[in-house]
Amino acid sequence: MNYLCTIKLKMMSKQDLLSLMKARHSGRSYDPTRAISQEDMDILMEAVRLTPSCFGDEPWRYVICNKQNNQSAWEKLLNCLDESNQKWAKDAQILIISLSAKNFRKSDKGENFWANHDTGAANYALMLQAAAMNLMAHQMGGFDRDKIVEKFNISDDFNVMSVIAVGYEE
The answer to whether residue 23 is domain-embedded is no
Tally of domains in the chain: 1
Q: What is the pLDDT of residues 55-98, one digit of tens each?
A: 999 999 999 999 999 999 999 999 999 999 999 999 999 999 99
Domain that holds residue 132: 34-167
User: CA 13 → CA 6, 18, 84, distances in Å?
Assistant: 13, 10, 39
The answer to whether residue 63 is domain-embedded is yes
- pLDDT category at 25 given cuts 50, 70, 90 is confident
Q: Tell whether the model's pLDDT for residue 108 goes beyond 90.
A: no
Question: Phi and psi for 129 in degrees, rounded to 5?
Answer: -65, -40
Mean local confidence (pLDDT), 119-147 = 98
The answer to whether residue 42 is domain-embedded is yes
* pLDDT score for 2: 45
Assign residue 56 the CATH number of its domain.
Answer: 3.40.109.10
